[in-house]
């Protein structure tokens, strides 16, 4: 789902902090302010009245004020949280409204460049309730950590820095939402179903044949869909998903390279190493040494 976030004035931040919980911890909440969760490592499951959301490292979750939920830790979990309030309550909106608004913004930017004037700032942002931030993960973590630091200060300048930094966090969330939506707006419904299935089952031994069997489609038809709309083979796409997930594990988890390879569904360490190096120009071990980012700090704030 998607939320319209009012930007008529800079959102207020009541509290923000950094917590860590052990596997098996669980509790229920219903907050008076909107809540943002950003996971650094581990796994959280959030149960709402009508649905369940699973969060892993590099993902955010927006929870509107007054919505009851239960949070359960699957793996030892390290995360940031923020309680905030906008000028208006978070409003759930349809995907079509978000896409239409994003298209309108793109066209407005084009007209502005052609006529040398600036586009007035939109009075709202559109943010998905949850998303994985990929390459933006580190910068987003840095912005939220700065918010937590400014929250500890007592001067008016600290307060101003906190609100300004949190505003940038929301913009980053909206940017991820926009990119992910616009990337899929022209895909066929069948291809969207297949790609979502791959996202949910990437740790299994998915193949062209297994996809054809699961969706009752011919292998040739699925191959044509991927070739025409993505320009890649089915195997290449599946490996891209596995590699993207492996980056998350190499960066945010204390797993060995071989453990990561099997966790994301590669049949052998050799194949994982070869595909990873071909894609990123360095081995998984080299990537882990350069980019590993596992939070070591104890909680600096309590709920």
Phi, psi of 60 (to 5 degrees): -115, 165
What's residue 90's pLDDT?
92
Tens of pLDDT, residues 60-82: 999 999 999 999 998 899 999 99
Tokens of 257: 């390279």
pLDDT interval class at 293 (50, 70, 90): low
From CA 168, how far away is CA 172, in angstroms rounded? 6
**Res 181: pLDDT:** 78
The answer on pLDDT for 117 being more than 50 is: no
In this predicted structure, what is the pLDDT of residue 69?
94
Give CA–CA dist 160/224, Å, rounded.
53
pLDDT at 134 over 60: yes
Question: What pLDDT shows up at residue 38?
Answer: 95
77-95 residues labelled b (16+ CB within 10 A) or e (exposed):
bbbbbbbbbbeeebeeeee
Q: What is the DSSP letter of 136?
A: G
Q: What is the pLDDT of residues 229-238, one digit of tens each?
A: 777 899 988 9
Taking a C-beta distance cutoff of 8 angstroms, is the pair 202, 245 a contact?
A: yes
Note the pLDDT tens digit of each residue in 39-64.
Answer: 999 998 999 988 899 999 999 999 99
pLDDT above 50: residue 296: no
- The model carries a pTM of 0.61
What is the model's pLDDT at position 187? 65
Q: Identify the DSSP state of 66.
A: T
Q: Is 212 exposed, middle or buried (0-12, 13-18, 19+ CB in 10 A)?
A: middle
Q: 20: pLDDT confidence band, cut at 50, 70 and 90?
A: very high
Contacts from 262-265 at CB under 8 Å and sequence distance 24+? 263/203, 264/202, 264/203, 265/202, 265/203, 265/204, 265/205, 265/206
pLDDT band at 128 (very low <50, low <70, confident <90, very high): very high
SS3 of 68-82: the string is CEEEEEEEEEEEEEE
Classify residue 277 by burial, with Cβ atoms within 10 Å: 0-12, 13-18, 19+: middle
% the chain with pLDDT above 70 = 88
For all residues of the chain together, what is the average pLDDT?
A: 84
- Is pLDDT of 197 > 60? yes
């Amino acid at each position: 789902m998607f939320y319209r976030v009012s930007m008529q004035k800079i959102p207020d931040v009541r509290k923000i902090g950094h917590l860590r919980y052990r596997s098996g911890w669980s509790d229920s909440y219903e907050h008076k302010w909107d809540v943002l969760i950003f996971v650094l490592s581990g796994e959280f499951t959030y149960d709402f009245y009508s649905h369940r959301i699973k969060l892993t490292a590099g993902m955010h979750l927006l929870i509107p004020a007054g919505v009851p939920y239960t949070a359960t830790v699957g793996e030892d979990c390290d995360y940031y949280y923020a309680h905030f309030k906008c000028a208006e309550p978070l409003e759930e909106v349809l995907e079509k409204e978000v896409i239409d608004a994003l298209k309108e913004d793109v066209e407005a930017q084009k007209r502005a460049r052609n006529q040398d004037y600036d586009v007035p700032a939109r009075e709202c942002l559109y943010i998905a309730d949850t998303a994985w931030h990929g390459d933006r993960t580190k910068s987003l973590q840095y912005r939220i950590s700065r918010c937590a630091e400014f929250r500890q200060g007592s001067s008016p300048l600290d307060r101003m820095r906190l609100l300004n930094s949190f505003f940038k966090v929301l913009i980053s969330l909206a940017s991820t939402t926009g990119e992910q939506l616009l990337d899929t707006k022209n895909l066929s419904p069948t291809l969207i179903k297949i790609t979502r299935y791959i996202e949910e089952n990437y740790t299994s031994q998915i193949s062209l044949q297994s996809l054809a069997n699961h969706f009752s489609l011919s292998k040739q038809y699925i191959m044509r869909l991927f070739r025409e709309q993505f320009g890649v083979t089915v195997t290449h796409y599946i490996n891209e998903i596995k590699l993207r997930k492996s980056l998350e594990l190499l960066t945010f988890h204390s797993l060995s390279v071989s453990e990561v390879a099997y966790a994301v569904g590669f049949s052998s360490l050799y194949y994982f190493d070869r595909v990873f190096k071909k894609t990123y120009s360095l081995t998984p071990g080299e990537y882990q040494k350069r980019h590993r980012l596992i939070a070591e700090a104890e909680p600096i704030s309590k709920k």
